[in-house]
């Protein structure tokens, strides 16, 4: 079945090209800008594309169709990405779709965090519940399907871990070969183990993420290898679909705020595109504010906004324990800026201590997430303290990665071994109380019933009759 009806449009100079005409680095040859995927029916905030929905069912029919597909046994219907394929016509032949039934992720409430912050409700859309444990799967199913359709045998990415795990899994499913560049010693072991398990050629480079990107760019320029970093706009088409799924889960009631972590700075813009398309098609009457939170040690967008209003990116030498977002020279910073401006969201930065506390709090809600995802709650606290988010406003945190991705971080935190003494000294006394209450280090005991009971009694404050 022929379904693809898209073009690529440069986000800088507006030049349009056919999808198949794009170069190997996904950059506009005129101005080096990144591309957006556009459709006859879609419009982007600064686009002059006229709206036309002639090829689409009406809004009620679309909603009905998306629900109906949930009951189907077809893999593309069971995918929480391809279920929305009417707004994702990027492959000519749906037989080329590579899916692990991604998406369909839960939306949880965070009652303790809501109470502590005095907000009516905070929800968490847990993208870490995807097949490889991160939101990258929603983008990888889309871009890997395009790679397969275009006949590539090899795919590659540079990664702080999650992209490589997702790419390796989807490449394996598609019977393609994959090459991963990761910064040596600077990604969580869980993620590295995944790309090996899924059969990728895994290359650890003695550099940071930004150094890996430089080598990768050269590689794909010289060899017929399909680039799967988030400069590839098809990735972002998949990553916009959680916005559709979220609104469906909320019965099409639009929340006021969406908060995402910022690393290479693509995901916030992908979600914002999803919201804008829904608004344009009349699925929702307005869009939520999309805010982006960076770690203090990897804060190029935050710094640039503070120092030059976002005119120029100020790259930084990135350093944070939230390794997934340890990126100093993010490729998609202009797209992120556009997302902030079109939705009215903010960019904030949070410290290592704030990230760890937020992560422990999300864990204590029975949910858990990886450190990079916890910046969302830490950032929310700041936005509330600054009066930018009111008590009656509804907030959705996008938790991007699974808690088991970085178990070393979690163990170090609970054992009280995560921070240096200097970092520990910076924590306010109020937050120290919270840390102490949340830390649950394991207790090592001899297997003697009396000893165990005595210890439990003291911990549980049991009173025997």
Q: Closer CB to ligand F0G, residue 77 or residue 137?
A: 137
Q: Which stretch, 82-90, 106-114, 264-272, 440-448, contacts ligand F0G (CB under 6 A)?
A: 264-272
Q: Which of 373, 376, 403, 410 binds ligand F0G (CB under 6 A)?
A: 373
Residue 349 in contact with ligand F0G, rule: CB under 6 A: no
Counting residues that bind ligand F0G (by CB under 6 A) gives 22
Residue 159 in contact with ligand F0G, rule: CB under 6 A: yes
Shortest Cβ 152–ligand F0G spacing (Å)? 20
Residue 299 in contact with ligand F0G, rule: CB under 6 A: no
Binding mask 224-243 for ligand F0G (x = CB under 6 A): ------x-------------
Q: Which of 162, 241, 320, 342 binds ligand F0G (CB under 6 A)?
A: 162
Shortest Cβ 182–ligand F0G spacing (Å)? 8
Shortest Cβ 34–ligand F0G spacing (Å)? 12
Residue 370 in contact with ligand F0G, rule: CB under 6 A: yes
Q: Which of 42, 145, 160, 410 binds ligand F0G (CB under 6 A)?
A: 160
Shortest Cβ 140–ligand F0G spacing (Å)? 10
Q: Closer CB to ligand F0G, residue 78 or residue 410?
A: 410
Residue 79 in contact with ligand F0G, rule: CB under 6 A: no
Shortest Cβ 156–ligand F0G spacing (Å)? 12
Q: Closer CB to ligand F0G, residue 147 or residue 372?
A: 372
Contact 255, 291 (CB under 8 A): no
Between CA 370 and CA 390 the distance in angstroms is: 27
Between CA 174 and CA 230 the distance in angstroms is: 19
Q: Which of 261, 297, 368, 379 binds ligand F0G (CB under 6 A)?
A: 261
Residue 325 in contact with ligand F0G, rule: CB under 6 A: yes
Q: Which of 233, 238, 262, 310 binds ligand F0G (CB under 6 A)?
A: 262
Q: Which stretch, 27-35, 102-110, 153-161, 349-357, contacts ligand F0G (CB under 6 A)?
A: 153-161
Shortest Cβ 146–ligand F0G spacing (Å)? 18
Shortest Cβ 131–ligand F0G spacing (Å)? 14
Which residues contact ligand F0G (rule: CB under 6 A)? 134, 136, 159-163, 230, 261-267, 324-325, 370, 372-373, 400-401
């Amino acid at each position: 079945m022929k379904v693809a009806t898209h073009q690529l449009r440069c986000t800088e100079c507006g030049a349009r090209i056919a999808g198949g005409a794009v170069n190997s680095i996904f950059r506009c040859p005129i101005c080096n800008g990144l591309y957006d995927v556009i459709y006859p029916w879609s419009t982007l905030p600064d686009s002059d594309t006229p709206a036309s929905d002639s090829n689409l069912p009406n809004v009620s029919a679309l909603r009905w169709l998306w629900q109906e597909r949930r009951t189907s046994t077809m893999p593309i219907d069971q995918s929480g990405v391809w279920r929305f394929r009417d707004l994702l016509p990027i492959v000519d032949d749906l037989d080329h779709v590579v899916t692990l039934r991604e998406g369909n992720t839960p939306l949880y409430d965070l009652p303790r965090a809501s109470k502590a912050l005095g907000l009516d409700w905070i929800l968490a859309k847990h993208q870490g519940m995807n097949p490889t444990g991160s939101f990258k799967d929603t983008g990888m199913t889309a871009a890997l399907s395009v790679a397969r359709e275009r006949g590539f045998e090899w795919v590659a990415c540079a990664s702080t871990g999650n992209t490589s795990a997702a790419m390796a899994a989807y490449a394996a499913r598609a019977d393609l070969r994959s090459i991963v560049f990761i910064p040596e010693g600077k990604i969580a072991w869980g993620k590295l183990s995944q790309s090996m398990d899924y059969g990728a050629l895994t290359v650890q480079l003695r550099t940071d993420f930004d150094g890996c990107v430089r080598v990768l760019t050269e590689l794909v320029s010289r060899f017929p290898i399909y680039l799967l970093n988030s400069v590839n706009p098809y990735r972002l088409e998949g990553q916009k679909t959680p916005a559709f799924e979220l609104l469906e889960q909320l019965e099409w009631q639009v929340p006021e705020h969406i908060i995402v972590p910022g690393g290479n700075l693509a995901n916030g813009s992908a979600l914002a595109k999803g919201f804008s398309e829904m608004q344009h098609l009349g699925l929702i009457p307005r869009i939520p504010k999309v805010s982006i939170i960076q770690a203090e040690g990897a804060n190029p967008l935050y710094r640039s906004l503070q120092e030059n209003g976002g005119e120029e990116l100020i790259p930084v030498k990135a350093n944070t324990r939230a390794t997934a977002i340890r990126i100093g020279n993010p490729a998609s910073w202009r797209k992120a800026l556009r997302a902030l401006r079109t939705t009215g969201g903010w960019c904030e930065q949070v410290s290592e201590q704030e990230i760890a506390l937020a992560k422990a709090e999300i864990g204590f809600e029975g949910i858990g997430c990886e450190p990079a995802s916890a910046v969302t709650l830490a950032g929310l606290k700041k936005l509330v303290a600054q009066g930018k988010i009111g008590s009656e406003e509804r907030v959705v945190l996008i938790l991007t990665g699974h808690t088991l991705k970085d178990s070393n971080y979690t163990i170090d935190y609970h054992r009280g071994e995560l921070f240096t003494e200097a970092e520990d000294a910076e924590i306010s006394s109020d937050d120290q109380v919270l840390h102490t209450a949340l830390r649950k280090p394991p207790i090592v005991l001899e297997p003697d019933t009396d000893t165990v009971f005595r210890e439990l009694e003291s911990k549980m404050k049991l009173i025997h009759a």
